[in-house]
Amino acid sequence: MSVANGRFMYFAFGSNLLKERLQLANPSAIFCTTGRLKDYELNFGLWEKHVDNSWHGGVATIKSCPGAEVWGVIWTLSNENLQSLDNQEGVSLGRYSPLEVSVETENGLMLCRSYQINNFHACPPSPQYKQVVCLGAEQNGLPGDYLKRLKAIQTNNYTGPSILDQIQTVK
């Protein structure tokens, strides 16, 4: 993970694609660029078989998969937000593990922090979670084909309140 000027690089591929979501707990996040993580695929699931979470469904993770690719956003964050980002991802609870990934960008490879679910159990995302992921992909100009794939993801049809209610997106 590259740490310079008191900041670190973070590769987001799920709900943290959306600036307003990421900045709920990490106000120092600044857009750097978009990029592609090769030989990984995007999955949705949980760290236990049956769990109530604030998204009411599966959340994004990445899994090694030769030939696949995951598009996302590279954010730079203040080192002071490393703990809040880890907390958001449930690292101390064992939900996600941080990992270092090499992301292809138009400026070459960038070494970034990212996260992967532990003890993965496949589970579809809620429509609200999927909406935040798609809004973030649109907001940051991820490739159209990739956005189409995101929009085609099946959800669990949950209709109650979620974190989406806390996110004020400006259209």
Catalytic residue ranges: 89
The residues, ordered by sequence, that sit 6+ positions from 140 with a Cβ below 8 Å of its Cβ are: 17, 19, 31, 34, 73
Question: In this structure, are residues 88 and 26 in contact, taking their beta carbons and an 8 Å threshold?
Answer: yes
Asked if 22 contacts 75 with a C-beta cutoff of 8 angstroms, the reply is yes
Question: Cα separation of 123 and 111, whole Å?
Answer: 29
Sequence-distant (6+) residues with CB within 8 A of 165 are none
Residues 14, 59: contact at Cβ < 8 Å? yes
- Rg (the chain; Cα; Å): 15
Separation of CA 53 from chain center: 16
Nearest to 7 by CA among 34, 29, 35: 29
